[in-house]
Amino acid sequence: MNRMKRGITVSTLSIAIVIMLILVSVSTVAGIRAIKTASYEEFTSKMVRLSDDVNIYVKKNGTLPVKNEIVSQAGMNTVLKELIANNGDTNNTLYVLDLNKLTTESINMGEGNTENLDVFLVAENTNNVYYLKGFEYKGVRYYGFSGTDISEI
């Protein structure tokens, strides 16, 4: 009597599990990259909105939308100092931006203080906006605009 065995072998099951693990790993890595890219794009969008709102506020009110707090460039990291220099803001006073004076919604950053670096700065005379803490993406820290593009210094 020959009995036909039904079911799958251990080797077939092992191969199926390995293939599923590979697929899950690849999709996880792709998902993480997509989330990081989306976060970077959200940061750049926030910087554009803030910059636009600062310019609108200045045009409407004739003054910068700032707190009565100045940030010295002396304690800043080199990358941010280089960006400030490239934008021609070395001799401009940098004020802490008062987000309550702007209409920009859902920024959810820049509401801290200078000690934890979670503030936006605006340069007198040019209205350039910088994020003191910076935003890291693909090993590069971004602080604001360089010309018309987000800085990659």
Name the residue ranges covered by the structural domains of the chain.
10-150
Q: What are the DSSP E strand ranges found in the chain?
A: 66-71, 94-97, 120-123, 129-137, 140-146, 149-150
Q: What are phi and psi of 95, to 5 degrees?
A: -105, 150
Residues of the chain with pLDDT under 50: 147-153
From the list 78, 96, 75, 86, the residue with the least C-alpha distance to 141 is 78
Residue 5 is predicted with a pLDDT of: 66
Residue 153 is predicted with a pLDDT of: 34
Q: Cα angle vertex 40, ends 34, 42, to 5°?
A: 100
Q: pLDDT tens digits, residue range 11-44?
A: 888 999 999 999 998 888 888 888 888 888 888 8
